[in-house]
Structure 1
Amino acid sequence: MVTTTLTPPLQSSEEKLITLTAIKWQTFKAIMSDVGDGRAWRIAYAEGVLEIRMPLTEHEEPVGMIEHFVGVIVDEMEIEMRQIGALTLEREDLNRAIEPDSCFYIQNESVVRGKSISLPADPPPDLVVESDYTSSSLNKFSIYAALGVPEIWRYRNQSLVVYQLVEGSYQERENSLAFGFLPIAEIPAFIEQSKTIGPRAAVRLFRQKVREFLNRR
C-alpha cells in the first residue's frame, strides 16, 4: 500500500514536502516519466521512500547566486565547468535517486562534455549544492554518499558549509576540493549583499574578491 504524508508549511517561508512510502523503483520511474521534465519540484528517493519537495523563491535565489559565483571562479581560474542544475542522479542497483538544487562537473568536466549523463557509466557531479529550508524525512547525504558525490555545499540560515566525502561519509571542511584557495564561508555575505545592491553588483564584487585571492597564490 502506498501512503502519503503531506508536511504542511509552518510559515510562509517553509517549503511543502510530500512523502510517499512503499514506492517500488518501477513505480518511481513511471511517476517521473509521466510528469516529464517541466516540473517545479525536486525529488529524493531511497529504498521505497519518495520525497517530493516544492522549492520557494527564498530557496531558489541563493542557489542562483551560488551558480553565478561558481561561474566567476572558473572564469577567473580559466578552467572549464559544466553546470547541470537539478540533474536527476539515479542508480537502480542502489535503489536511490536524488535531484540536487544545482550541480557542477569541474574536475570531470572533460569526461562528460557533450554527453547525456547516466550513472554509474559516468561519474557523479564533482560538486552538489543544496539549499535547505525544509527538514527532510530522508538522509540526503547518505544518498549522495552512495552515489559517490565527492563534495556538497549546503546553504542554510545564511551560512554555507562545505562537506567532503571521506571513507563513505561526509565531513565538514573549511575549503573546497575544487577551489581550495577560496574561503567558501565568505560567499553568504555576497548573497546577502545582492538583496540590497542587486545580484549583478554582488557578482562584480565577488569577482574582485576572487581576483584578490588568486593574486595571492
Structure 2
Amino acid sequence: MTAVSPVVKPISQMRLAPGSRVTIEGVSWDEFESILQELGEKRSLRVAYSNSTLEIMVPLPEHEKPKDIISDIVKILLKKTGRKYEPFGSTTFKQENIAGVEPDACFYIQNYQRMIGRRRIQAGDPPPDLAIEIDVTSQTTLDAYVAIATPELWVYNDKLTIYLFHDGFYIKSDNSPTFPNIPLLEIIPNTIDRAWQVGTVQALEELETLLTTY
C-alpha cells in the first residue's frame, strides 16, 4: 500500500471570502508564531488562538464601519472626560504558550503613559485597558481574552455587550467602569444606526450634542 502524505500549504495561500471563519485544531504555540510571521502585519484578516485552536476570520466590509464608529465614540468620551490615551488598533496580544488575540480596536487609558512611543508589544507590557470586537460569537476569541486578561471588553453585534474581567472570568455588565455615567448600551447602537441613515459625521455630531446633557 502506498503511503499518502498530507498536503501542506502555507496559510497565506488560503483564499477566504469576507465573512469567513476557519478553525484549525491541534496547533502548537510555535506553529501559531510561525503562522503570524507568515501572514505578516499588513492584512485584513484577524486571528485568535487559545487551547491549541487557531481561528482565522475575514471581516465583512460592513464590519469596519461599526468598528470605526465605536472607536470614534471612545475618543469623544475620553476627550469629554479629559483623559489621555494611546490607541493600539488591532495589535496582536499574546500570553506565551497559551493564547493570542487581535482586537478590532483597543485602547490604553490607565496605562497610556507606559505605552507612549511603544512600536511593538514587549514582554511584561500590560494588556489594553479596553478592547473592542465586532460580531464575535467565537469561544476561542473570548478564551484568548481571558488568558490576556484585558480588563474591559466590548463586543458589538447589533447590540453592545460589555464584559468585565473579574477573578479569571468575564462577567457581563450594564455599565462601563471606564465611562460609568454614560448609557453605552443605548447610545452606541443608536449612533451606529444613525450613521447608516445620515452618515457617520452627522451621527457623531448628534452624539456630541447629546453628551452635553450628561
> What TM-score results when the alignment is normalised by the length of structure 1?
0.86
Instruction: State the Cα deviation string for residues 134-174 of structure 1 (Å, max 9, x = none).
Output: x42x4322221121111011101x21111111111111111
Query: Is contact 2:162–2:175 with CA below 8 Å preserved after alignment?
Result: yes
Give the 3-state SS of the residue equivalent to 2:124 in structure 1. Answer: coil
> What TM-score results when the alignment is normalised by the length of structure 2?
0.87
Instruction: State the Cα deviation string for residues 90-132 of structure 1 (Å, max 9, x = none).
Output: 1214x21011111111111112111134365111000011111
Deviation at 1:31, TM superposition (A): 1.5
* Root-mean-square deviation over aligned CA pairs: 2.3
* Residue identity matched to 1:153: W
CA 1:107 to 1:23, structure 2 compared with 1: closer, same or farther past 3 Å? same
**Distance in 1 of aligned mates of 2:176 and 2:7:** 40
Give the 3-state SS of the residue equivalent to 1:110 in structure 2. Answer: helix
* Residue identity matched to 1:82: E
* Residue identity matched to 1:53: M
CA 1:97 to 1:118, structure 2 compared with 1: closer, same or farther past 3 Å? same
- Correspondence 1:85-100 to 2 at 5 A: 85-93=89-97, 95-100=98-103
**Which ranges of 4 or more aligned residues in structure 1 deviate by more than 3 Å?**
1-4
Query: Is contact 1:63–1:102 with CA below 8 Å preserved after alignment?
Result: yes
* Residue identity matched to 1:128: A
Query: Is contact 1:2–1:22 with CA below 8 Å preserved after alignment?
Result: no
- The aligned counterpart of 1:126 is 129
CA 1:205 to 1:46, structure 2 compared with 1: closer, same or farther past 3 Å? same
Q: Where do 5+ consecutive residues of structure 2 fail to align?
A: 1-5
Deviation at 1:180, TM superposition (A): 0.9
2:35 counterpart (31, 35, 49): 31
- The aligned counterpart of 2:192 is 191
Give the 3-state SS of the residue equivalent to 1:37 in structure 2. Answer: coil
**Distance in 1 of aligned mates of 2:150 and 2:85:** 16
Identity across the alignment (%): 31
